[in-house]
Amino acid sequence: MMMRALLLLLSALLAGCGSQETVPKQKAQSSRVSPARSLDMEQLCKGEAAHKYNTGTQAIDVTGFEQFQGSYEVRGFTARNESFVCSFDPEGHFLHLSMR
């Protein structure tokens, strides 16, 4: 009798372990920036870099746009080959400029 109860309990525990839980999708992974917004981000990044490096926006080249789970990065360099990265939040608002 005790063995039968133990087997039933063990099988119930194993059945519970086999169930799959659905993981909700994260907001940052499902959001997409529109092409117009990405161009705005690029222009804002160029303006920030031009101000930081004391040059005109025409001397700033943007080389990459990457999306991460919780942010966006715009990479580029100046006419003097000084590289930088602009960071944006998931909604596309400017966070900071990193000189590299």
The pLDDT of 77-99, averaged and rounded, is 94
Query: Domains plus CATH for the chain?
Result: 32-100 (3.10.450)
What is the pTM (predicted TM-score) of this model? 0.65
How far is residue 57's CA from residue 36's CA, in Å, rounded to a whole number? Answer: 19
Q: pLDDT at residue 70 above 70? A: yes
pLDDT in tens, 11-67: 766 665 555 556 655 544 545 678 888 899 999 999 999 999 999 999 999 999 999
| Predicted local distance difference test score (pLDDT) of residue 20 | 57
The candidate with the shortest Cα–Cα distance to 67, out of 37, 39, 93, 87, is 87
